[in-house]
A and B are shown apart, each in its own frame.
Chain A
């Protein structure tokens, strides 16, 4: 390295052997600081490019009928992604019914009794589970539900999304509960409240804002998943609110529109992408507000 420092041996800190002139060191410092700042700029370019294009190209498609109508065949004007929006909300709702209790429950376990051996194993497993590719979870949901029922279904998609929600929720819930001051718990116990009621109505009650925040973020992430839905919920050209029937989703719809060769479907892909980002952004915004209210309380 330029600054005339050498690594003596692995594991030891570098020891300066010969220090260059003040000017040279200052220049090196300046150049490296500039490079790191450039890294920040470089990282943000794609973000702004994505956001700008989704908004500028998607805004033309947005209209009342885009939100409420069924998809139109190629070449026909109009049509919308109403069934896909409803399908996404439906599946994410179903997934929340399964995933929220399991994820939050596991988080409560980690916070309340997570200092033992089982706790460490569960915590590590949750961390590792968070890195499992979503497509693998899709295959699992296919094996668990689609294959035995011989039918693609919203339920299968929801199960896949629920499995994806559990690990992040568990870790976030634990963090939120551990933020609750010990004195609150102790005060409740000192008043003779049983430990389980203390956990539920004092500690969890205090952490509620944080839990809502974590839950909404998990839901937002689930809404953006595509891969595990491709061969579980499949797709559907029509409205569907039956858990055992194939169901459209915004993400799969974006995918199908994007890889099609038709120009007007590309426009619809941008429009659907804008819908999806509005949905996810809205959920994240509410999550942020929930977290903000907690910190004020």
Chain B
């Protein structure tokens, strides 16, 4: 306790009550996680009982009418769109973070940080609307035909360019996770002692050489944490993906094809789910999503923290 003067013996009744009250409120955070797990597990129990956990995860048929539920197409779609998002967002976000912390004057930094904050504050559904009305026509009429023309021999770029599918969903996801990756990377780079960077510069390194030799090796773990946090956000992002991915529970190799993602199928079918098994299967997908994002966020936070602790030790 910050006061330090009060030992428990002499503590006022008010102090004890206050301490108990805030400890209870702090404990409520733990309770919330418990509630999430129990609620999802209870809802999904009928589905797991009927289908079996492993068969549910690996099955590729999703047919509510016949009570046949396999999660594979959704897992596939989630992974493909998230992979596109990471590949697109990571270099841009890290470049942006490096520019703001290492290269730009502070006035530019404040200006750009302000806009990155706004980007992070725009709701998912607005990105979905923008993707549907702006991005999809551009992809359908310009980008996808061009990709097909040049790289059509790759299985990634085959099939009719529809505009809707894995590609637009992945690109909008990239835009949405960019602020996450950038802001955590900036946070990590800021914790680096200036002396290290200045040492490299004093030895005659150019700015970029200082980044390559000192900054990036130093911040590597933290940046990896930032990217994993971005990945966790991409996996669970719902609205924009639901509006752009095409909502077909199928597995296709082409990025132009329509697919489905874990959050999207929950969003589309949960309200009208027929019976306990269908609801249960959807809640089971939520449980899988919760487990994966929980593990990713936890490991990312540990990485960021490790990166910061090394600084204290140095």
Contacts and interface: CB of A to CB of B under 8 A. Distances in A.
Interface of A: 1, 3, 5, 7, 12-16, 25-26, 28-29, 32-33, 35-40, 42-44, 46-47, 49-51, 53-54, 101-102, 105-106, 108-110, 112-114, 118-119, 121-122, 124-140, 142-144, 147, 152, 163, 166-167, 170, 182, 185, 189, 194-200, 220-221, 224-227, 230-231, 234, 251, 254-255, 258-259, 266, 269-270, 273, 276-277, 280, 284
Contacts, number: 300
A112 B271 CA distance: 42
A38 B96 CA distance: 8
Contacts of B99: 33, 36-37, 39-40
A13 B263 CA distance: 41
Interface residues of B, number: 98
A3 B212 contact: yes
Nearest to B204: A19
B266 interface: yes
Nearest to A257: B129
Contact of A113 (B19, B95, B123): B19
Interface string B200-242: 0000011111011110011000000000010011011111000
B132 to A, nearest CB: 6
A182 B95 contact: no
B298 to A, nearest CB: 5
A10 B164 CA distance: 42
A113 B32 contact: no
Interface of B: 1-3, 5-6, 11-12, 14-15, 17-19, 21-30, 32-33, 35-36, 39-40, 42-43, 91-96, 98-100, 103, 112, 115-116, 118-119, 121-130, 132-134, 175, 178, 182, 205-209, 211-214, 217-218, 229, 232-233, 235-239, 243, 263, 266-267, 270-271, 282-283, 286, 289-290, 293-294, 296-298, 300-301
Given A224-B126, A231-B271, 16 more contacts: A13-B217, A36-B96, A36-B98, A37-B99, A47-B118, A113-B26, A128-B298, A132-B294, A133-B238, A134-B238, A136-B289, A139-B270, A139-B283, A140-B40, A195-B3, A196-B15
A167 B32 CA distance: 10
Given A44-B115, A132-B290, A32 B134 contact: no
Contact of A140 (B39, B98, B100, B208): B39
B263 A16 contact: no
- Residue with the greatest number of chain B CB neighbours at <10 A, chosen from A7, A106, A225: A106
B128 A46 contact: no
Nearest to B291: A136
Nearest to A224: B123
A143 B92 contact: no
B39 A194 contact: no
Contacts of B238: 133-135, 226-227
A21 to B, nearest CB: 12
A167 B28 CA distance: 11
Contacts of B3: 185, 189, 195, 198
Closest 7 pairs between A and B when the two form their complex, measured CB to CB:
A133-B236, A105-B25, A39-B95, A224-B123, A109-B26, A131-B297, A196-B18
A224 B207 CA distance: 40
Nearest to B4: A189
Contact of B129 (A106, A130, A254): A254
B208 A33 contact: yes
Nearest to A185: B2
19 contacts: A3-B212, A33-B99, A33-B103, A37-B103, A39-B95, A40-B99, A42-B92, A43-B96, A43-B182, A122-B29, A126-B29, A132-B293, A135-B289, A138-B270, A140-B36, A166-B29, A189-B5, A231-B271, A269-B129
Contacts of B235: 133
B190 to A, nearest CB: 15
Contacts of A37: 99, 103
A174 to B, nearest CB: 10
Given A113-B1, A189-B3, A255-B239, A143 B40 contact: yes
Contacts of B126: 50, 54, 224, 254, 273, 276-277
Contacts of B103: 33, 36-37
Contacts of A280: 121, 123
- Residue with the greatest number of chain A CB neighbours at <10 A, chosen from B22, B95, B282: B22
A16 B212 CA distance: 11
Nearest to B282: A139
Contacts of B123: 224-226, 251, 276, 280
A218 to B, nearest CB: 12
Given A43-B116, A119-B26, A194 B12 contact: yes
B25 A106 contact: yes
A37 B207 CA distance: 14
- Residue with the greatest number of chain A CB neighbours at <10 A, chosen from B91, B96, B126, B217: B126
Contacts of B17: 196
